[in-house]
Chain A
Amino acid sequence: DAKTTQPTSMDCAEGRAANLPCNHSTISGNEYVYWYRQIHSQGPQYIIHGLKNNETNEMASLIITEDRKSSTLILPHATLRDTAVYYCIVRGPDNYGQNFVFGPGTRLSVLP
């Protein structure tokens, strides 16, 4: 699995967009980018994933650069409940025998 690099921590004002970057310069052509978050010792929560196109769901948007070496998770209107550790993970398409490798992630603090 390709390695990812994320900032250790970020702050965001409540109501503003939170943009969380992730570098994955060694990503392979068939590897997906996944985002999870973990709110204070709760189980990690799936947010979104993508291969090469930008993706959007009810929680967030995922912007992947054309060369796929980096991506940005966007929370459009951050709330206090979005304060969490956000993990960017790169993984291949086959879930047989594969697992998620969680790095230290980015600790996002949403400030009132």
Chain B
Amino acid sequence: DSGVTQTPKHLITATGQRVTLRCSPRSGDLSVYWYQQSLDQGLQFLIQYYNGEERAKGNILERFSAQQFPDLHSELNLSSLELGDSALYFCASSPHGRNEQFFGPGTRLTVL
């Protein structure tokens, strides 16, 4: 158990819909990262937040957005969902001054 929690574990929705994935980092960790893992793309970095502010963006689509709240939990919002958005979405956190990222169990999103 890494200490990072993600909800929900599974999500099934339809094309065109919008969903929100939630992540609670390890206690005290200020950085939160979001990754997407699909069958054909492997693990892809989406976005990083540090203490509420966006730090880095990766291959995140404009239909996706994220934020980190004052209590340090983060949400990833996916809108206008397409079949190709079906994937595992992982959140990771890391403590200030350290580079190891600790990953949550992921949310499996299925878009039908």
* Residue positions of A touching B, CB distance < 8 A: 32, 34, 38, 41-46, 49, 87, 91, 93, 95-104
Contacts and interface: CB of A to CB of B under 8 A. Distances in A.
Contacts of A101: 45
- What's the dominant secondary structure at chain A's contact region? loop
Nearest to A32: B99
Nearest to A104: B42
Interface string B64-99: 000000000000000000000000101010100011
A104 B99 CA distance: 21
Contact of A49 (B31, B33, B100, B106): B100
Contacts of B55: 96-97
B88 A41 contact: yes
B106 A41 contact: yes
22 contacts: A41-B88, A43-B4, A43-B90, A43-B103, A43-B105, A44-B43, A44-B90, A45-B2, A45-B103, A46-B100, A46-B101, A46-B102, A49-B100, A87-B43, A96-B55, A99-B33, A99-B45, A99-B48, A99-B56, A100-B45, A101-B45, A102-B42
